[in-house]
Structure formats: C-alpha cells, structure tokens
Amino acid sequence: MFKRKNDVPTNAPVAVVPTERVTSVLGPGIQWQGSLQGTGGIRIEGSFEGALAIKGLVVVGQSGQVNTERLNANTVIVAGLVRGNINAERLEIRSTGKVWGDVKVVTFSTEDGAFLRGQVQMEEKMDLFPPDMVNTVPLNNNPVVETEDSSGE
C-alpha cells in the first residue's frame, strides 16, 4: 500500500562533481618568501610572505601565517592568520581564523569566534585570474636582469 516508488533506477550513472583538495603542503616550521601561482590546492601550516594566485583551494591551517598584498583563489579556508586582501569565489573563516584585510567574494561564511578586520564586498561573479594578473605574479623567485646590448643599441 505504501510502497516507495523509485524514479531513478539503481544502476543509473551518477554525476561526479570535482572536489577541491590539497595537493601541496607548506608544513609547520617552514618559512617561504616569494610568489606562488598554479592550479591545485595548497595547505599552509608554516609562514608564507608574498603573492598567492591559486586556481583551486588555499587552506591556512591553525598554525599557518600568511602576509600578502593579495591572495587570489577559488576557495580560501582560514583557520590561522592572514594579513592581506583576499579575492575568492568562496571564503570560510573558521573559529580560530583571523583576517586583517579587505575581502571580495561571491560566498562568505564564518564560524563563532572568527575574526575579520576589513571590508567585505560581495559579488555575483568574479574574474579571479584576468590575463594581466598572470603576468604580474612571477612563476619563480629568480629576478629578471636586463642588460644592455654590447653594441650600445
């Protein structure tokens, strides 16, 4: 009488949604100065100073400290300390997280105890990686040295 009718057969294919995951770790006790850009996910448990542009996930763990002018990533989760501006599609500040800087996001959430000192700007859509930004974040820390042509031209 009260049978449940299955609208979807049990052998129907299920859509697989890609999940963001950590593929690199900057461990506790590690200090890094420079720029990081790329695709994937990074977890920072040590100290990082410089520019971050990650097409993927950035997690600042409880022991992590980030000093940056600008952190661009699809998803940012802060459980440690971030000093600098954050541009992200999604930002989560956990109960132990502290952010000093302005944030520009599509979705934003905090847990009880989270700290943010700065302005929050909500957008419907964001272009996190415009073509001109790709050229402003170097791929490595090697300085570019320009030399004059020996002929004096």
Query: If we measure between CA atoms, which residue out of 73, 13, 4, 1 comes closest to residue 37?
Result: 73
Q: How far is it, in rounded angstroms, from Cα 101 to Cα 69? A: 9
Q: How far is it, in rounded angstroms, from Cα 72 to Cα 86? A: 6
Least confident of 9-13, 48-52, 90-94, 134-138: 134-138
Number of domains in the chain: 1
**Residue 151 scores a pLDDT above 50:** no
Q: What confidence tier does 136 reach under pLDDT thresholds 50, 70, 90?
A: very low
The predicted-structure confidence for 51-90, as pLDDT tens digits, reads as follows 999 999 999 999 999 999 999 999 999 999 999 999 999 9
Q: Average pLDDT in the 101-120 region?
A: 96
Residue 30 lies in a domain: yes
3-state secondary structure of 98: strand
Residue 15 lies in a domain: no
Residue 50 lies in a domain: yes
Residue 75 lies in a domain: yes
Whole domain around residue 108: which residue ranges?
24-127
The predicted-structure confidence for 10-49, as pLDDT tens digits, reads as follows 554 444 333 478 888 999 999 999 999 988 899 999 999 9
Write down the pLDDT at residue 129.
75
Write down the pLDDT at residue 21.
84
Residue 66 lies in a domain: yes
